[in-house]
Amino acid sequence: MGNLSFQLILSCSYLFCLICIASGFVPLDNYLIDCGSPRNASVGNRTFLADNFYSDILSTAQNILANTNSSSLSSSYDSTLYLTARIFDQASRYTFPIKENGRHLIRLYFFPFVYREYNLSTAKFSISAQNFTLLEGFQLDKGSVVKEYSFNITTNQLVLTFTPNTDSFAFVNALEVISLPIELIPHSARIVEMPGDYQNLQSKALETVLRVNMGNQTVHPQKDTLWRLWVSDDTFLKHSTVSIVSNVKAVTYKNGNVTENIAPPSVYGTATKLDSVLDPNLNVNITWLFSVDAGFNYLVRFHFCDIVNSTLGSFLFNVYINSWFAYRSFDLSTLTSNVIGRPYYFDVITSSTSSSALSVSVGPSPEGSYPMAILNGLEIMKISNSQDSLETSDSENGSLKTNSRSKIILIAGLSGGICIVLVVVSALFFVCRRRRKLAAVGHSKEDNFVMNQTGDKNSNSLAVFSTSTFGYRYPFTAIEEATNNFSEDLIIGTGGFGKVYKGIFRDGTKVAVKRGQSKSQQGLTEFRTEIEMLSQFRHRHLVSLIGYCDERNEMIIIYEFMENGTLKSHLYCSDRPVLSWKQRLEICIGSAKGLHYLHTGSTRAIIHRDVKSANILLDENLMAKVADFGLSKTGPEIDQTHVSTAVKGSFGYLDPEYLTRQQLTEKSDVYSFGVVMLEILCGRAVIDPSLPREKVNLVEWAMKWRERGRIQETIDPHLVAQASEESLWKFVEIAEKCLAQCGLDRPQMGDVLWNLESALQVQLKEEKPSDKGELAPRADWIGYLDTHPSASTTQFSMGSLGDLASVSMSKLFAKMAKEDMR
Ligand SMILES: *[C@@H]1O[C@H](CO)[C@@H](O)[C@H](O)[C@H]1NC(C)=O
Ligand SMILES: *[C@@H]1O[C@H](CO)[C@@H](O)[C@H](O)[C@H]1NC(C)=O
Ligand SMILES: *[C@@H]1O[C@H](CO)[C@@H](O)[C@H](O)[C@H]1NC(C)=O
Ligand SMILES: *[C@@H]1O[C@H](CO)[C@@H](O)[C@H](O)[C@H]1NC(C)=O
Ligand SMILES: *[C@@H]1O[C@H](CO)[C@@H](O)[C@H](O)[C@H]1NC(C)=O
Ligand SMILES: *[C@@H]1O[C@H](CO)[C@@H](O)[C@H](O)[C@H]1NC(C)=O
Ligand SMILES: *[C@@H]1O[C@H](CO)[C@@H](O)[C@H](O)[C@H]1NC(C)=O
Ligand SMILES: *[C@@H]1O[C@H](CO)[C@@H](O)[C@H](O)[C@H]1NC(C)=O
Ligand SMILES: *[C@@H]1O[C@H](CO)[C@@H](O)[C@H](O)[C@H]1NC(C)=O
Ligand SMILES: *[C@@H]1O[C@H](CO)[C@@H](O)[C@H](O)[C@H]1NC(C)=O
Ligand SMILES: *[C@@H]1O[C@H](CO)[C@@H](O)[C@H](O)[C@H]1NC(C)=O
């Protein structure tokens, strides 16, 4: 009896399975539109609905329905879709209601023909969806093209916008919007060129560059549950000793993790393999060459299935991308539990696309018992850059260059804004707790490379991790030696990223060694951002990169050693000697120069995003250098982690406009710099919870006194004896401008620099008359004040110190100066 019911269940589930397979994947959101067509069109098992069926989701615009009787189209399975098109004379939008959040697939069909006065070959236009740029300045001379994209839709609608270029128009022959199975695209994937994972893939748009079926056979959309096209590999194959195997029947998805939605049996059932039958010592790679757009990261998915069922048993082989190991000694048999015909796939991310060639190889591993390598399928997907674009932006071209600089603005969503407010509250405590931590340590949480999208910098930025292009890579053993095996005694700082050690190389070079915790998930991207930024920018006032190490899963960055630590440690909370006013001005000028260079030194402005006294380091001559580029970036990013991190990393220094309007520009750095100037002026922490409430926030406190015309209440008492009044005034004035609520009212870093220099000139001029040291010029006054305290106020308000005078201050002033003179 039990046996019978068991069989019943078995046959039922078998039946159910059959139904599943027969019907394939049923997308909940399923829009198929045969644009321009008055009729429904059958394509394979699907029906593309007539254009007018969906006219209500299209923004009202003058659109033209076009058709052709072109004979140049071969009768491929989707050829009916190309006979008609919709032409957009002006920007137009499709707004698709979305039932199911998650990754959706968008397919756009294009075939240019001539319709009345419209020659579709001349059409030039851009397409964007949500906030992703899918196509920009797109033009198609001839032939049909299907563009395929996927991205995560988190709202209840998808807006697809067609924007014609000036004096041009846009068109589309057909379009598809379907929801994808959740298992299709992972949230993260291993990076080929470095240890660690690429995070946050779900926030990226992907564009299918190619789907390739190995085994010299094209798999048409009818045979794929998601109607994907898999082209034959033979045109990409570099000549080598290969053989083709085909055994579709052997493919079995049963009990495995791979479903038919990942790839159909006709993909797993054919393969290109190394032909080692005649030569058991054969040692060659099978290589496929693909052309891709340089400057992007790519998600590459390898599909494997042992359909060979070799009598020789298991085999090992290596998988490479651009000569990097994508998988070393890949053991298919073990990964598929020795089940012949069970599919397996893995994903990797590659960023080494400084050239437009992507090569994929499989070849024998020396660890294997006999030469064998096989590949069944391959997918290459372009990942949207940090500008949310899938197109190389035009910004490197001509006049747009300068334009883009002024337009680099971060716009976070509303939810991001709410998040910031929450984070700010908690960040107060957080920041207070970690005040003392040395800030040569980065703690950015970016999820992407920063420089990748700038085409003109590809050769630099993308090759950062290959020894051939950069001499920065250091062997781990050398670093171990330099830091005395990462001795605790040499730790000079700790932070979110890991620890910073002082190191001395054999040749006597002192360095700062920042060692990332291998556990830290975000660390990897910080690591890259830092290296990419630092290797690109060389400036007297930016901390230099000496090298890095990524051996053995390490994430180590080596910087020039800054003898005098952070500016912060010289201003308060330490027993370091007090900086003179002149020194403070020089430090200000140095760091302003560094920032000015960041903002203007390259074609795209770099926003540091984490300007603070802890990120300004001083060398043995107290020369200032700006450090910590982990958060720096050229472009926007809208995910929450990064927003909250930005707040975390620089609370107290944060541009209020950024908080309220979520716009980050270079002026946000200017604001933060203004805060640093106040720190320098007042010699206290930005947030000091130990002080009375009205004093906790430095900016509020100082600006309140400034409004009352008594900024002197806040000035570091150490300065009073030495600073020239005029120079102080200039300084306060600049700081105040930097702290303007509205970014537009703040000066450029260049202006700040200029004004600081003039403040220094004033100071120097006043110091000149007497060369007896910093305090000398004021000595006579002090004597006067000390003996005639009652006269002090008058003396000051009339004298050159002007508003700086106040009784309490002059007393302090006198006492201090006396002590110094002894
Ligand atoms: C196209 O198909 C839809 C849905 O099946 C149907 O409602 C519509 O009437 C059809 N349109 C034409 C022109 O046949
Ligand atoms: C398409 O329909 C044909 C017959 O109508 C059927 O044999 C085939 O399995 C279907 N394909 C898919 C992917 O559903
Ligand atoms: C179809 O093709 C013929 C000859 O190529 C041409 O004369 C005719 O105008 C075309 N019809 C349309 C609707 O394009
Ligand atoms: C349409 O434009 C293409 C590209 O500009 C050109 O080669 C072709 O001759 C044009 N066709 C017609 C009919 O004007
Ligand atoms: C796109 O960006 C705008 C701000 O420019 C934002 O308000 C909106 O929520 C974003 N849309 C999506 C779908 O992310
Ligand atoms: C889509 O985004 C949401 C929110 O960010 C996330 O929870 C979900 O896992 C994502 N889905 C996919 C398929 O990436
Ligand atoms: C692939 O197939 C084509 C014909 O369809 C043939 O000419 C070519 O030699 C094949 N390539 C390989 C590697 O077998
Ligand atoms: C399936 O996936 C789980 C978790 O991702 C893993 O533990 C298991 O080994 C996988 N099974 C096979 C057959 O790959
Ligand atoms: C593999 O080969 C063995 C014998 O060589 C055969 O018994 C078995 O059925 C084959 N398996 C498959 C899946 O083809
Ligand atoms: C296969 O390619 C890898 C990466 O380019 C290379 O290191 C290896 O030497 C090649 N093997 C053979 C046998 O050519
Ligand atoms: C800049 O634009 C011109 C014309 O639009 C083009 O010919 C040139 O190749 C572009 N240069 C770059 C670097 O993209």
**Residue that wins the pLDDT comparison between 3 and 811:** 3
Q: With contact defined as beta carbons under 8 Å apart, do 374 and 274 qualify?
A: yes
Q: How confident is the model at residue 378 (pLDDT cuts 50, 70, 90)?
A: very high
Most confident of 12-16, 414-418, 581-585: 581-585
Q: Which amino acid is at 366?
A: P
Would residue 404 count as lying in a domain?
no
Q: What is the CATH number of the domain that holds 114?
A: 2.60.120.430
What is the C-alpha separation between 480 and 485, in angstroms, rounded?
4
Poorest-pLDDT segment among 404-413, 564-573, 696-705? 404-413
Pick 108 or 115 by higher pLDDT. 108
Look at the chain and report how many structural domains it folds into: 4
Closest CA relative to residue 46, chosen from 110, 109, 93, 1 = 109
> Which of 561, 584, 599 marks a domain boundary?
561
Ligand 9 atom with the smallest distance to the CA of 341 is 13
Per DSSP, the three-state class of 61 is coil
> What local confidence, expressed as pLDDT, does residue 278 receive?
67
Residues 6+ apart with CB under 8 A from 655: 664, 667, 668, 671, 672, 743
Give the pLDDT mean for 658-675.
82
Read off the pLDDT of each residue in 511-526 and give the average, rounded to a whole number: 73
- Spatial neighbors of 520 by CB under 8 A, at least 6 apart, are 496, 497, 498
Residue 31's φ and ψ, nearest 5 degrees, are: -105, 120
Q: Tell me which of 257, 306, 334, 337 to substitute to probe ligand 8's pocket, judged by most ligand atoms within 8 Å of the beta carbon.
A: 257
Q: Is residue 477 situated within a structural domain?
A: yes
Q: For position 590, what pLDDT does the model report?
A: 93
Residues 325 and 436 grouped into a single domain? no
Q: Are 144 and 82 in contact (CB under 8 A)?
A: yes
Q: Whose CA is closest to atom 11 on ligand 6? A: 102
Pocket test for ligand 6, best of 154, 184, 200 (most atoms within 8 A of CB): 154
Is the pLDDT assigned to residue 550 strictly greater than 90?
A: no
What mean pLDDT do residues 770-798 have? 33
Which atom of ligand 4 lies nearest, measured to the CA of 114?
A: 13
Kindly state whether residue 421 falls inside one of the protein's structural domains.
Answer: no
Residue 180 buriedness (CB in 10 A; 0-12 / 13-18 / 19+): buried
* 593 and 544 together in one domain: no
Helices (H), 80-125: none
* pLDDT given at position 689: 79
Residue 667, pLDDT above cutoff 90: no
Same domain, 555 and 571: no
Residues 574 and 513 in one domain: no
Q: Which of 389, 638, 663 to mutate to test the pocket of ligand 5 (most atoms within 8 A of CB)?
A: 638
Which has more pLDDT, 761 or 386? 761
Q: Which residue, by CA, sits nearest to atom 6 of ligand 2?
A: 22
144 pLDDT more than 80: yes
Residue 100 lies in a domain: yes
pLDDT per residue as tens digits for the range 440-465: 223 222 222 222 222 222 222 222 23
pLDDT at 60 (0 to 100)? 62
| pLDDT value for 213 | 96
What percent of the chain has a predicted confidence (pLDDT) above 90?
29
pLDDT beyond 90 at 233 = yes
Give the count of beta carbons closer than 10 Å to the beta carbon of residue 57. Answer: 17
pTM recorded for the entire structure:
0.57
The pLDDT value given to residue 55: 79
- Decide which of 526, 543, 561 is a domain's last residue: 561
For residue range 119-134, list pLDDT tens digits in order. Answer: 999 999 999 998 899 9
Helix axes 698-707 and 666-682, enclosed angle (nearest 10): 80
Q: How far apart are CA 692 and CA 696, in angstroms?
A: 6
pLDDT of 248 > 90? The answer is: yes
**Per-chain mean pLDDT for the chain:** 75
**Same structural domain for residues 616 and 554?**
no
Residue 388 falls inside a structural domain:
no
Confirm or reject: Cβ of 338 under 6 Å from ligand 8: no
Q: Higher model confidence: residue 515 or residue 525? A: 515
60 class by beta-carbon count within 10 Å (0-12 exposed, 13-18 middle, 19+ buried):
exposed
DSSP H or E segment with residue 622: none
291's tokens? 């052309």
Nearest residue (by CA) to ligand 10, atom 6, is 323
What pLDDT digit, counting tens, does each position of 61-78 carry? Answer: 567 788 776 656 666 778
Q: Do 555 and 595 reside in the same domain of the chain?
A: no
Tell me: pLDDT of 97 over 80. Answer: yes
Of 29, 78, 233, 610, the active-site residue reads 610
pLDDT of residue 700: 87
- DSSP assignment of 388-444 equals SBSS--GGGSTTHHHHHHHT------HHHHHHHHHHHHHHHHHHHHTTTS-TTS---
Q: Which residue matches tokens 């004093």?
A: 695
Residue 222 phi/psi, 5-degree rounding, is -60, -25
* pLDDT band for position 637 (cuts 50, 70, 90): very low
- Phi/psi for 51 (5° steps) reads -55, -45
> Residues 534, 616: one domain?
no
Q: Is the pLDDT of residue 251 over 90?
A: yes
List of residues 6+ apart from 229 with CB closer than 8 A: 146, 211, 218, 219, 220, 221
Ligand 6 neighbour 211 (Cβ under 6 A): no
What's the whole-number mean pLDDT along residues 528-533? 74
Handedness of CA 814, 816, 821, 822 (dihedral sign): positive
Per-residue pLDDT, 495: 65
Residue 675 pLDDT level (bands cut at 50, 70, 90): very high
Statement: residue 429 has pLDDT above 60: no
- Torsion sign, CA atoms 607, 610, 613, 617: negative
232-250: average pLDDT:
89
Same domain, residue pair 358 and 494: no
How far is Cα 129 from Cα 149, in angstroms, rounded to an integer? 10
Angle formed by the axes of helices 666-682 and 581-600, nearest 10°: 170
* Residue 390 counted as domain residue: no
Q: For residues 589 and 680, state if they share a domain.
A: yes
417: in domain? no
Indicate if 803 belongs to the active site: no
Domain extent at residue 119: 2-179
Binding pocket residue ranges, ligand 10, CB within 6 Å: 283-285, 320, 323, 361, 363
> What is the pLDDT at residue 820?
35
Say how far apart CA 435 and CA 773 lie, in whole Å.
Answer: 33
> Edge-to-edge strand order for the sheet containing 157-164?
92-97, 157-164, 125-129, 132-138
Q: Is 639's pLDDT higher than 50?
A: no
Task: Flag the least confident range among 173-177, 243-247, 432-436.
Answer: 432-436
